[in-house]
């Protein structure tokens, strides 16, 4: 007799792992299938010359009491070794250095010194107020975005969060104009590059609710000891210790529609489940679910995402790094062939011996690339040329802005393109961070976890509530609660 699982989860990124753990914790019979040899997805890792690198330049946030990561850890009773970063980020811009302090008053003072005192207090007070309300709303309104008549039952809760409504349809730029800050060019430039990290958009196209959550996030920044991948590894242990079945190197190629779904992998393995939950991107789900090609076309054909160019350095430690693990360098213009005016840096902690030999640090540097699909149209020669050109420009930026970097010994120096990221993650065209935020399709009008086929659901950063650990974990919490409450 064939084995039938309650749920088959496709993809062991943070969204898929979190969903699988939550369902298994409630006594469901769960199978988790992952194409790679390890778990983590975008939070994966690789090793070179005794250095352990995060695939992307990533941070962990969402650890406040009512926020998704903390809620997940409490629910699963997982203890993770974290280091709180204060400042949460160092921003280098116009030969100035801003410290993104946790304390709001201290941060406002920093902004007043850098950008002038006019209206800074009012703006940042509003940012934190809207962000706090939005996180509270996200915890209580589990059926957003509304996808069915049943979901309408959640609307009464909106009354408690009515103050958010005006900011759903106003951009960050609109609020800057109302605040008298739109003509402060340095400040607007700074905000746009901060939003590029969290919303993958700028002040003109980011709805203020999402923008406020993104601009507030550096006040809740944590470093995961052992590297970001230690988080998914702990989720993996929780899942398997609770009796869940995890199969690595099992890439799903198709799911056949029926009351009980038939899942087929690249190696010809076949599994059966009553519910299928895919952690793949909306674009990749079109391939996995051929019977729903029209649905995923409708939802995602007009949407695109960013790619990334990433540098990986095994660099000699220096007192100048200190505890400033996360840094952003805002540039006058993008690196060649790239699309954002900044690079984001992620150092390993000084005492994290699991990631680098004594006296050294890992450094992962990332910048955005527009229309990453074009990299697949390049010749091998042109791909190599661009990779070398961007890599040299990235190293020049580090030499210029980090005084100690030029003289530091570098045991590892290597670079990754969107093609590299696609090979690590199996994401279409190596896209990072899901769907960019846009006034043309606000967050609450994104695709939701339910599809138009009974028993087929999706999680991850290409559905509401979007990118980053807090976003994908919130999606997992909301979806799991549909099945267990």
What is the reported pLDDT for 155?
55
What is the reported pLDDT for 146?
60
Half-sphere exposure of 482 (CA within 13 A, CB side): 26
Helix, strand or coil, per DSSP, at residue 411: strand
What is the reported pLDDT for 152?
46
Distance between CA atoms of residues 253 and 263, nearest Å: 8
Distance between CA atoms of residues 42 and 39, nearest Å: 9
Name residues whose C-beta falls within 8 Å of residue 261's C-beta, 6 or more positions apart in sequence: 8, 255, 272, 273, 274, 275, 276, 455, 456
User: DSSP H helical segments within 289-417, as ranges?
Assistant: 293-300, 380-401
42: which DSSP letter? G
* Cβ–Cβ under 8 Å, residues 179 and 142: no
Helix, strand or coil, per DSSP, at residue 465: coil
Name residues whose C-beta falls within 8 Å of residue 415's C-beta, 6 or more positions apart in sequence: 309, 310, 311, 312, 387, 390, 391, 394
SS3 content of the chain, % helix, strand, coil (to 5): 40, 20, 35
Taking the whole predicted model, whether its pTM rises above 0.75 is answered as yes
User: DSSP H helical segments within 402-459, as ranges?
Assistant: 418-425
Tokens of 398: 């580090």
- Indicate the helix (H) or strand (E) that contains 471: helix 468-484
Tokens of 432: 């990072």
Phi-psi domain of 16 (left: phi exceeds 0; alpha: psi -120 through 50; beta: other) = alpha
* Cβ–Cβ under 8 Å, residues 369 and 338: yes
- How do residues 358-382 score in pLDDT, each as one tens digit? 999 999 999 999 999 999 999 999 9
What is the reported pLDDT for 127?
97
Name residues whose C-beta falls within 8 Å of residue 77's C-beta, 6 or more positions apart in sequence: none
Nearest to 246 by CA among 32, 1, 11, 54: 32
Identify the segments of the chain with pLDDT beneath 70.
1, 57, 141, 143-144, 146-161, 485
What is the reported pLDDT for 137?
81
What is the reported pLDDT for 47?
95
Distance between CA atoms of residues 379 and 266, nearest Å: 28
* Cβ–Cβ under 8 Å, residues 316 and 408: yes
Residue 117, CA distances (Å) to 121, 184, 358 in order: 8, 11, 43
Helix, strand or coil, per DSSP, at residue 353: coil
Helix, strand or coil, per DSSP, at residue 239: helix
What is the reported pLDDT for 157?
57
Residue 393, CA distances (Å) to 161, 196, 366, 396, 419 in order: 46, 20, 12, 5, 19
Helix, strand or coil, per DSSP, at residue 267: coil
């Amino acid at each position: 007799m064939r084995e039938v699982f309650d749920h088959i989860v496709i993809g062991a990124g943070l969204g898929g792992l979190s969903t699988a753990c939550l369902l298994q914790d409630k006594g469901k019979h769960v199978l988790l299938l992952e194409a790679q040899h390890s778990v983590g997805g975008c939070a994966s890792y690789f090793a070179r010359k005794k250095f352990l690198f995060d695939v992307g330049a990533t941070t962990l946030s969402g650890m406040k009491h009512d926020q998704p990561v903390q809620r997940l850890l409490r629910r699963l009773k997982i203890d993770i070794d974290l280091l709180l970063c204060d400042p949460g980020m160092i921003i280098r811009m116009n030969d100035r250095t801003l410290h993104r302090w946790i304390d709001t008053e201290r941060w406002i003072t920093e902004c007043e010194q850098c950008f002038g005192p006019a209206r800074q207090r009012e703006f940042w007070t509003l940012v934190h107020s809207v962000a706090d309300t939005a996180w509270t709303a996200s915890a209580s309104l589990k059926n957003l975005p509304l996808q069915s008549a049943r979901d309408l039952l959640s609307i009464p809760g909106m009354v408690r969060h009515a103050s958010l409504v005006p900011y759903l349809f106003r951009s960050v730029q609109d609020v800057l104009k109302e605040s008298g800050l739109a003509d402060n060019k340095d400040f607007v430039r700074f905000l746009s590059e901060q939003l590029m990290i969290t919303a993958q958009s700028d002040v003109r196209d980011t709805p203020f609710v999402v923008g406020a959550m993104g601009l507030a996030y550096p006040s809740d920044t944590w470093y995961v000891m052992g590297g970001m991948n230690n988080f998914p590894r702990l989720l993996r242990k929780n899942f398997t210790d609770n009796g869940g079945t995890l199969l690595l190197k099992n890439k799903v190629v198709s799911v056949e529609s029926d009351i009980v779904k038939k899942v087929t992998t690249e190696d010809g393995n076949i599994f059966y489940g009553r519910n299928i939950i895919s952690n793949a991107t909306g674009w990749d789900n079109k391939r996995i679910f051929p019977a729903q090609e029209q649905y995923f076309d409708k939802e995602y054909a007009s949407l695109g995402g960013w790619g990334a160019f990433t540098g990986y350095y095994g660099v000699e430690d220096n007192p100048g790094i200190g505890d400033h693990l996360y840094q952003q360098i805002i540039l006058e213009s993008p690196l060649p062939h790239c699309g954002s005016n900044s690079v984001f840096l992620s150092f390993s902690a000084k005492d994290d011996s699991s990631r680098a030999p004594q006296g050294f640090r890992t450094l992962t540097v990332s910048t955005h690339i527009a229309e990453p699909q074009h990299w697949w149209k390049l010749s091998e020669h042109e791909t190599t040329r661009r990779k070398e050109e961007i890599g040299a420009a990235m190293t020049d930026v580090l030499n210029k802005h980090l005084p100690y970097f030029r003289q530091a010994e570098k045991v590892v120096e290597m670079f990754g393109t969107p093609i590299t990221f696609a090979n690590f993650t199996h994401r279409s065209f190596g896209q990072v961070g899901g769907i960019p935020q846009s006034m043309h399709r606000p967050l609450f009008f994104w695709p939701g976890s339910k599809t138009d086929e009974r028993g087929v659901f999706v999680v991850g950063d290409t559905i509401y509530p979007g990118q980053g650990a807090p976003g994908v974990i919130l999606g997992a919490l909301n979806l799991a609660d549909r099945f267990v409450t």
